[in-house]
Structure 1
Amino acid sequence: MTDSSSGAPDASSPLDPVPAAAVRRRRGAAARADVEARIHDVESALMDLEARAREMDARIEARAGRNLPKAIFFGLILGLSLLFSLIVVKELFMLFGAALMVFTVYELASALRFAGRDIPRIPLVIASLAVVPSAFYLGAEGLWWSFLAGLAFVSLWRIAESARPSMRGPGVSLPTDLGAGVFVLAYVALLGGFSIVMTAEEGGQWWTLAYLIIVISIDTGAYASGLAFGKHPMAPRISPKKTWEGFAGSVVAAITAGILLALLMLGEVWWVGLVLGLALVGTATLGDLTESLIKRDLGIKDISTWLPGHGGFLDRLDSILPSTIVAYVLFTLLG
């Protein structure tokens, strides 16, 4: 249809396009495309950052032997729980110690069972729990009696189990199983029990806190020094990553932490901190190598994977457990 006067198309005709609506649609489509392109760019950037972060974490973990962010996070949780139990109400340290003993005993017993030592885990857990209140309220004598009672309980349980035909196969060795049970209870419950005994004594909670800080300083000094300067392995067949340079760093950290804690927290003369630091660096190093030897003998990297970034509880307590007796003896003599 045309205008009779000019011959031009009629603007009101339904067959003609609507320019304003078309422009709005084109602009809306262009805006959506621009937003989608920006979102895609952001997603690509985030994926690239995530890939780089994972690559960096993998490099750090390959060099450090652990996932550091997770290790630091769970280390802070354990550390704050420990501080609260020692400083606020030291009776709560029984709960903290009992939890550590239960998890550590169970994971070590499980690792030994995986390696063929058929030791009963539940009796070991019960026996280790009984050690805690006995050590706290009855002292060293209560610790020893509860430990001996626990040995009898676990041994009788295993002997009773051996009466079953399935427990008398060709690969079953009752003396080996009994020896493994004694080892677990002595290594975890007995050694750890001395920290309970010391904490229960007047002012003992400060010595417990001091020796734990020193051992942590030893581990940190060895780790940092070994990572930065480590070239000469200390015991390559047992722990290839442990170096003499790392050991030197642990000695410096132990002496520094020991003297500072003796003067500022324990109220002792400086040489008490020196003796404490030097004694603990020996037991902490020995404990670390001992646990590495256990894992090598069992053919595993970590005792368990219950603590992200740390491995298992024993992987964190390996330096602490043998150091407990030294700290308790020095507390008895000098505290």
Structure 2
Amino acid sequence: MDKEHRSAAEIEAQIQAQIHAARDQIEATRARVNKRTGRDLAAATGIALLLGGVLLASLLWVKVLFMVFATVLIGFALYELASALRFAGRDVPRIPLVLLGSAILPITWFWGAAGMWWGTLGAIAGVAVVRVAELADARTRTGASAVFADITQGAFCIAYVAVLGAFTVQLTAQDGGQWWTLAMIIMTTVIDTGALAAGVLLGRHKLAPRISPGKTWEGLAGGAVLATAAGIALSVWMLGQEWWFGFILAALLVVSATVGDLAESIIKRDLGIKDIGSFLPGHGGFLDRLDSILPSSVVMMALFQVVHA
């Protein structure tokens, strides 16, 4: 009986040891992947699915909800970028920047391109007025060159985040534009995923080592291959275009998404930070997830206008 008891105990101990070994192996593999990709993939996947679900609901249910959704995202991204600039020594008024910059999106939704540009000028002027008014407080009083730099940095935030974000709203507001917006987001996601997978598995040659050491030419090629396949499928089944339009779509968006990704990397490098924000586990901040979409929205809006001219 004692022998049987010892045998059962030994078997149980062996099973427990195998479970712990498997768990350690999984955690080690996850750590290697996270180190290679620079993010927690499990958390990143969960956040991506959540945001994707909200995005689909807003685009396919009631289009005006997308405007609300995009306005909230842009507001967070503006706050993140302004906070990062303040960390680097620039005194950019965050609350006015977020309120006035975010307002460009609903203005664009209701008044179109003209509203976008007038809203942009108003937002830049409003942030500038607030920064100048802050000089009345001795604690925020600096020289003329520093104030001018703060104002130009605020204008940059508005142009880079709010105006480019407003193009997604303008595109979605068009008749059938929600499908083009959805296709653009799918394409940028495919490009990012393909580049990440190919870079992890095959990456050897750095694309821009001084700007973003993790990006490789193999990753770019992997993203381009998947983007081409997705572009052909989306062109035929979602956008109502000929199959060859997928090659144009893929080529342009691979360039715009890569440029957007590298542009944000340059900003982070200049500011000396890893992520613009930390609101999203596994993703960094909102701007870290929007970097490829923002310039791609301009490209997609231009393609829409050419096709529907």
SS in 2 for 1:162: helix
Q: Sort the Cα spacing of 1:96 and 1:39 in 2 relative to 1 into closer, same or farther, 3 A.
A: farther
Shift of 1:45: 7.5
SS in 1 for 2:238: helix
SS in 2 for 1:234: strand
- 2-side partners of 1:218 and 1:193: how far apart? 22
1:191: which partner in 2? Answer: 164
- 1-side partners of 2:44 and 2:293: how far apart? 17
Q: Sort the Cα spacing of 1:122 and 1:63 in 2 relative to 1 into closer, same or farther, 3 A.
A: same
Could you state the TM-score of these two structures normalised by the residue count of structure 2?
0.91
1:173: which partner in 2? Answer: 146
SS in 1 for 2:215: strand
SS in 1 for 2:91: coil
- 1-side partners of 2:211 and 2:222: how far apart? 20
1:210: which partner in 2? Answer: 183
Shift of 1:42: 8.9
**Total equivalences in the alignment:** 305
1:236: which partner in 2? Answer: 209
Q: Answer whether contact 2:228 2:246 (CA < 8 A) is retained.
A: yes
Q: Sort the Cα spacing of 1:73 and 1:171 in 2 relative to 1 into closer, same or farther, 3 A.
A: farther
1:164: which partner in 2? Answer: 137
The answer to whether structure 1 residue 153 and structure 2 residue 126 are counterparts is yes
* 1:295-317 superposed Cα distances (whole Å, 9 cap, x missing partner): 11111111111111111111111
- 2-side partners of 1:293 and 1:197: how far apart? 27
Shift of 1:221: 1.2
Shift of 1:162: 2.1
SS in 2 for 1:132: helix
Q: Answer whether contact 2:165 2:294 (CA < 8 A) is retained.
A: yes
- 1-side partners of 2:75 and 2:16: how far apart? 45
AA aligned opposite 1:291: E
Out of 54, 73, 77, which is 2:50 matched to?
77
Q: Report which stretch shifted further, 52-61 or 262-271.
A: 52-61
SS in 1 for 2:81: helix
1:333: which partner in 2? Answer: 306
* 1:129-182 superposed Cα distances (whole Å, 9 cap, x missing partner): 211211111111111111111111111111111232222247981111111101
Gaps of at least 5 residues in structure 2 are none
Q: Answer whether contact 2:100 2:123 (CA < 8 A) is retained.
A: yes
Q: Sort the Cα spacing of 1:39 and 1:275 in 2 relative to 1 into closer, same or farther, 3 A.
A: same
- 2-side partners of 1:94 and 1:292: how far apart? 27
* 1:33-77 superposed Cα distances (whole Å, 9 cap, x missing partner): xxx999999988876665544333222211221111111110000
SS in 2 for 1:292: helix
SS in 2 for 1:211: helix
Q: Sort the Cα spacing of 1:41 and 1:156 in 2 relative to 1 into closer, same or farther, 3 A.
A: farther
Out of 239, 252, 256, which is 1:279 matched to?
252
2:295: which partner in 1? Answer: 322
Structure 1 vs Structure 2 CA RMSD: 2.5
The answer to whether structure 1 residue 313 and structure 2 residue 296 are counterparts is no
Q: Identity over the aligned pairs, expressed in percent?
A: 50
Q: Sort the Cα spacing of 1:37 and 1:271 in 2 relative to 1 into closer, same or farther, 3 A.
A: closer
AA aligned opposite 1:249: G
AA aligned opposite 2:100: A
Could you state the TM-score of these two structures normalised by the residue count of structure 1?
0.84
AA aligned opposite 2:249: L
AA aligned opposite 1:239: S
* 1:249-275 superposed Cα distances (whole Å, 9 cap, x missing partner): 122122221111010111111232221
The answer to whether structure 1 residue 103 and structure 2 residue 79 are counterparts is no
AA aligned opposite 1:95: V
